[in-house]
Structure 1
């Protein structure tokens, strides 16, 4: 592990659509003395934020440069097509790219699906952002294919979406610069991997001074030995005759036989 000195806070970048809330909650429970600084960055800028040291780790969309970054894939998202609520596509539970062959499909400049060839009919121009493309869909001039989380992020009452069964998918991962694997990065890796606080593969957080004092107050005092334990032992050693042969010399069969013989009279 490199990077022996931890920064006073842990800076986590995340791209639009990713919801880090559950991991943030666990972090705050396990490391309450280390603030978690959340930084939302556009998907295309996330690698630069990590490379330049503006964030310690990031929840990003793959691919990333594996010669620079370590990455742990977390989940793969469903791709959906965003349409107006009165569009014919809404009659089906899911659609294919062939169903959209004659539709105008927007391909924004910040697209994260990495099409080899965008489906459908090309729009007159490419919107600058996914948010701009959603506005155009609402205006009824085309459709948009995005990961489901982005469709939810840009939700509008007049729009809905349907899953695309044969479209490329976006994969979300935890990434960080390989040469900057600090203890805090290891802590966050343990959290996203679901390790327990006592896991041998994770770094056990040190309790704060207040927690240490509280644990000492709550720790039960050791029981004092009974005062008569020593004297009781002596009694057991000296007065306990239950396990011994109580007949002694006077109680032996030979003694009893001698007592039963009449003495000779002289």
Structure 2
């Protein structure tokens, strides 16, 4: 390797709420010589980060532009409403959007839901981020509907959450530019899909499968063995007749039986 060549590395983007630790751990164990760098990005900016080549692949929230990106959907999150612990909603195990119709709901600028019409009463302003909206919920001036992972990410002792059964849901996927499907991207896809090192779908195993293997002699079938046996017997018979001048052996005649 020359001094101008860069050492291989892998850059993985991920959006808030996604925890990539288990996949990173597998990568470090399987490819210890190739460092993996994590790049946390806001959900709305993740596609542009990948499009600009600032990351090789990323955990993003769907939808993505499928004319440019490949994507492997991983899971869909439950949607919850974040409320103060002393709020009346905490008396229920789950709620509907109708239950929130009279509540002030914050709709932050980084909201991951594509609402046709945001539920509830509109807040006096749109918070810049989900974290800002959580602070306002803690101040008891409104509520917030988010994927469950974001409620856990911004957990506070004075807040809790309840599932919203009929709200939109957010799905997480592994995505990358389709035309930039490198060997390292394939390696990471294999890790996310749970393939083993020796999986036949992995790059190393696939290359091994392409190597020519030594041919083993085929075992003769029962039919061919039977035919060979008949041929050998016929050959032996012709050889014996040739030695005796071609005459067929005659059967011995016994004594005539006496008539009574």
TM over 0.5: yes
Alignment of 1:5-84 (within 5 A): 8-84=8-84
Give the Cα separation in 2 of the matches to 1:172 and 1:102. 30
State the distance in 1 between where 2:151 and 2:110 align: 14
Determine the structure 1 residue equivalent to 2:118. 118
Shift, 1:6, TM fit: 9.4
C-alpha RMSD of matched pairs (Å): 1.4
Q: Which residue of 2 aligns with 1:148?
A: 148
Task: State how far apart, in whole Å, the 2-side matches of 1:129 and 1:203 are.
Answer: 41
SS of residue paired to 1:44: helix
Which residue in the other structure is 2:203 paired with?
203
| Distance change >3 Å, CA 7–CA 189, structure 1 → 2 | farther
Alignment-derived partner of residue 184 in structure 1: 184
Q: CA deviation at 1:197?
A: 1.1
User: In the alignment, is the contact (CA less than 8 A) between 1:6 and 1:183 conserved in 2?
Assistant: no
DSSP 3-state at the match of 1:13? strand
- Per the normalisation by structure 2, the TM-score is 0.76
> 1:84 & 1:152 partners in 2: Cα distance?
14
Q: Separation in 2 of the partners of 1:140 and 1:80?
A: 17
CA distance in 2: counterparts of 1:6 and 1:166, whole angstroms: 50
Show structure 2 runs of 5+ residues with no match.
Answer: 206-260
Deviations 1:101-160 (A, max 9, x none): 100000000000111111010111111100010000000000000000000000111000
Aligned to 2:227: none
1:133 matched to 2:130? The reply is no
- Indicate the SS of the match to 2:59: strand
- Counterparts of 1:153-232 in structure 2, within 5 Å, are 153-204=153-204
Q: What stretches of structure 1 move > 3 A for 4+ residues in a row?
A: none
Count of residues in Structure 1 that have an aligned counterpart in Structure 2: 201
Structure 1 unaligned blocks of 5 or more: 206-266
- Asked if the contact 1:13–1:40 (Cα under 8 Å) also holds between the matched residues in 2, the reply is yes
Offset, 1:7: 6.4
